Structure 1
Amino acid sequence: MTNTIKVQRAVRNITQEDLAKVIGVSRQTINAMEANKYIPSTLLALKIAKYFEKKVEDIFILETND
C-alpha cells in the first residue's frame, strides 16, 4: 500500500507534527506512513481522509500483484 499523505500535506502547507497533533498520533507515525513502513488502522485512515476532505482511496492506494 502506498499513500499520498506527503503530497496532501504539501498542498495544505502543514508539517508532519501539525498533522500528527490533529489526528492524535506521533510525528514518527506520520513519518512511517509516508515512508510506507506503517499501514494505518481503518480508523486512522478515515481520520486522515476526513482531515484532508478526501476519500480514503484518494490517499491510500492498494497495490496488487495481479
Structure 2
Amino acid sequence: MILVKNKIEIYRRELNMTQQDLAEKVKVSRQTIISLEKGRYNPSILLAHHIARVFQKNIEQVFIFEEEGNGQ
C-alpha cells in the first residue's frame, strides 16, 4: 500500500496564503484543501501538479510517497 503525505500546509504558510487563497488558485473548495492537508484525500495528478506550480516546486517536493506494510 502506498501512503501519500504532503507539505501543502508548510508551503502555504511560507507564502502567507490562506486555505481559501490556495483553493481559489487551484479551483477547488477550501474543504478540499483542508482534506488534503489532513491527509484524508489524495489529489488527482492534475490537482497535485497545479498545487506544486503555485508553490513553484515539483510534485515530489510537495507530495511524499511512502510504501506501507512491505513486510521488511
Q: TM-score range by the shorter chain?
A: over 0.9
Q: Distance in 2 between matches of 1:57 and 1:29?
A: 20
Q: Distance in 1 between matches of 2:66 and 2:22?
A: 25
Aligned residues: 66
Structure 1 runs of 4+ off > 3 angstroms?
A: none
2:24 matches 1:24: no
Quick check: which one's helix share is greater?
1
Structure 1: where are the runs of 5+ without partners?
A: none
Q: Distance in 1 between matches of 2:37 and 2:66?
A: 15
Please name the residue that 2:58 is paired with: 55
Q: Distance in 2 between matches of 1:52 and 1:9?
A: 8
Structure 2: where are the runs of 5+ without partners?
A: none
Q: What pairs up with 1:23-42 in 2 under 5 angstroms?
A: 23-42=26-45
Give me the CA root mean square deviation: 0.7
Please name the residue that 1:15 is paired with: 18
Q: Structure 1 length normalisation: TM-score? A: 0.96
Counterpart AA for 1:19 = L
Q: Greater Rg, structure 1 or structure 2?
A: 2
Counterpart AA for 2:8 = I
Look up the SS of the partner of 1:63 in the other structure: strand
Quick check: which one's strand share is greater?
2
